[in-house]
Amino acid sequence: MKSLACHTAANQLRTRLIISLRAESPTVKTFVFKDELCGGAKPGQFLMLWIPGVDEIPLSIMDARDDGRVAVSVKALGEATVALHQKRVGEPVGVRGPFGNCFMLNGRKPLMVGGGTGIAPLMFLTRRFLSRAVSTTFVFGAKTRDELLFRGELEKFGAKRVRLVKSTEDGSCGLTGLCTEPLEQMLARERFDEVYACGPEQMILKVFELTEQSGVQMQASLERLMRCAIGLCGSCVIGKYRVCSDGPVFTSKQLRQVKNEFGLSKRDRCGKRVPLD
């Protein structure tokens, strides 16, 4: 449990300038800014980014450095994310955070499973594992080759440090189909110490079912509607948990406890339970 003073500082809105940006794919851009508090974030934590005059949105931290540099990778989807994509270097954004818990780095043989922008926090986690001389297996997928995020950076690590299993739904890169398809065989053939997943919730649910069958522990980062990010408003609730403060990372044991909602439903802006998209 975080101390109140710690939360108060993290929850203070800070104005920060974008110091660099790059296109990761036709729809995803990475934005870098300097922020001392978020620079100390751990893999799995998120921040709230305020796009002045538009909205404030939750984003996973893709990288955080000791010198305060912080990166987020954002898909242009709706009003806030499209407005953010129009920002240039030197323009201001507002930052609160870091919030939430983090992935626990367990064992010496981790397996990452990422889809879409869910790959972002797993990149941060992979760098942390590598800094402890732990190599990883990284299963990742997207609809097309262009949308397969961080492919270049992952390939640069080298196969000995990061073993890659790529898949695309249209077959333009790696295996054809969903990234969960090769998993069943992998989990049957090899023993992994822990599986880490982030991406669309249907993907996470499939990974959960496979890890339950093979008896491997899992940690998954979930997304829900977030407003306050500090456990007050209740908009991110899943079962007895608030994703912003009890999560966003949940263990296999916790996912079992919320199986009536996990992969099935979420809360809308009025707090009503609605089916997942």
Report the interface residues with ligand FES, using CB under 6 A: 226-229, 231-236, 242, 244
Q: How far apart are CA 84 and CA 76, in angstroms?
A: 8
Give strand pairing partners of 2. none
Q: How many CB atoms lie within 10 A of CB 127?
A: 17
- 81 is an interface residue for ligand FAD by CB under 6 A: yes
Residue 99 vs 192, nearer CB to ligand FAD: 99
CB of 58 to ligand FES, least distance (A): 8
Span 60-79, contacts to ligand FAD by CB under 6 A = 60, 72-75, 77-79
Does residue number 80 form part of the binding site for ligand FAD (CB under 6 A)?
yes
Size of the site for ligand FAD (CB under 6 A): 22
Nearest CB to ligand FAD, comparing residues 74 and 204: 74
- Give the pair of three-digit tokens for residue 87: 């920002």
Secondary structure of residue 274 in the 3-state scheme: strand
**Interface residue with ligand FAD, options 30, 117, 126, 137 (CB under 6 A):** 117
142 binds, among ligand FES, ligand FAD, none (CB under 5 to 8 A by kind): none
Phi, psi dihedrals of residue 265, rounded to the nearest 5°: -140, 165
Q: How far is the CB of 244 from ligand FES (least distance, A)?
A: 3
User: Rounded to an integer, what is the distance from CA 39 to the centroid of its chain?
Assistant: 16
Q: Tokens representing 172?
A: 């333009």
> Taking Cα atoms as reference points, which of 19, 181, 5, 187 lies closest to residue 87?
19
Picked from ligand FES, ligand FAD, none, the partner binding residue 248 (CB below 5 to 8 A depending on kind) is ligand FAD
Min separation Cβ 247 and ligand FAD, Å: 8
Q: Is 150 an interacting residue with respect to ligand FAD (CB under 6 A)?
A: no
Instruction: Give residue number: closest CB to ligand FAD.
Output: 78
β-sheet bridge partners, residue 167: 141, 175
| Contacted by 95, from ligand FAD, ligand FES, none: CB < 5 to 8 Å by type | none
Q: What is each CA distance from 166 to 17, 61, 142, in whole angstroms? A: 35, 22, 9
Rounded CA separation 72/64 (Å): 9
The residue whose two tokens read 């990061």 is: 162
Residues that bind ligand FAD (CB under 6 A): 46, 55, 57-60, 72-75, 77-81, 117, 120, 223-226, 248
